[in-house]
Structure 1
Amino acid sequence: MVSESTFVRIVRASAWYDLIVSAPFATPWTFAWLHQALNALAGALGIGTLPDFAPEHLLMANLMGSVVCVWSVLRLRQTSVALGRYDAAARWLFAAWQAYAVLSGGTLLVVPFLVVEMGFGLLQSMPVGSVPGRTGTRAARAG
């Protein structure tokens, strides 16, 4: 079990992570830069190259990046246990599709993102409550 204040910090950290990672997907220009950088990384790691993106693929990447950025800002501005739970559900869905992509022959560059999705998914799925020894008033704890 994790305290509500710790859980809220986890939700906020996951929102910052999402904002930083997803922002390059949000526009055609930043995605072109990201695609080139990831392609260079894949080549340097010896795991092949990324396919070229058709306009429809680019549209889907930009939509995903835009929506995730907005969702991230919402979680930063109105951080709550409820939003953390919704985010956990979204992370499990993202992790499922990332695992499916890798198992279907997609690039191994997805694996680090899959690990992070699963990590934040686990953390945001944890029970939230009071931490033993930290409940009640000071007087009750002292007595």
Structure 2
Amino acid sequence: MPTVTLPTYLRITRTSALFDILVAAPFATPWTFALFYLQLSRLNMYLGGAALPPFAHIHILITCLMGNLVLLWSVRRLLEPSLALGRYDGAGRFLFATWMVWALVQGGLPVVWLFLVAELLWGVAQWWPVAPARAARRSNRPGLKLVRS
């Protein structure tokens, strides 16, 4: 199986973090979520599903807490990417994908496919084999962090 170099892998980890920041930002506050939820509901209807049901305050609270956690985790990966953080993120994406499949099985949520495909693609990318870092160790380049997985 082909491998990627560690610098390439770290770029993948940073890019996935930036993607997550863009996707999770609307979930971070009750105000941004209210605007986004309306658009998400319209998109779900456009894709053949029903309008999304209204959220109670507890649902919004849990959504915003999750959005904040994803943002914090993403900033951490963006600023200090590593092989270990990328692998953890990949595992988390497969867990998220599991629950998205569960939601799809329940029916009426075609919009979840958009999130599911992205999660699976990023998960595979972050679990892709990384070439041994022998050459990187010899070059002793500053700023390159090697973390064993």
Change (3 A) 1:106 1:45: closer
Aligned-residue RMSD, C-alpha: 1.9
Q: Counterpart in 2 of 1:49? A: 51
8 Å Cα contact 1:98-1:114 kept in structure 2? yes
Structure 1 residue corresponding to 2:94, chosen from 92, 95, 101 = 92
Q: Which residue of 1 aligns with 2:12?
A: 10
Deviation digits for residues 42-81 of structure 1 (CA, Å, limit 9, x no counterpart)? 2333322111101111111101100000000000111111
Mapped partners of 2:9, 2:102: distance in 1: 29
1:110 partnered with 2:112 = yes
* Uncovered stretches (5+) of structure 1, i.e. residues with no partner: 139-143
Number of residue-to-residue matches in the alignment: 136
The percent identity for this pair of structures is 47
Q: Measure the CA separation in 2 of the matches of 1:96 and 1:45.
A: 21
Pick which of 36-45 and 76-85 moved more: 36-45
Deviations 1:22-57 (A, max 9, x none): 010010000000001111222333322111101111
Post-superposition Cα deviations, 1:65-111, rounded to whole Å, max 9, x if no partner, equal 00000000000111111100110111010000011111112411010
Q: Match for 1:120 among 119, 122, 127?
A: 122
1:33 alignment partner in structure 2: 35
Letter in 2 for 1:94: F
Unaligned runs of 5+ in 2: 140-149
TM-score by length of 2: 0.84
- Counterpart Cα distance in 2 of 1:90 and 1:11: 13
- Are the counterparts in 2 of residues 25 and 31 from structure 1 also a CA contact under 8 Å? yes
The letter of the residue matching 2:77 is R
Q: Counterparts of 2:101 and 2:4 in 1: how far apart (Å)?
A: 28
Q: TM-score, normalised to structure 1's length?
A: 0.88
C-alpha change, 1:67 and 1:80, in structure 2 (3 Å) is same
- Which protein shows a greater Rg? 1
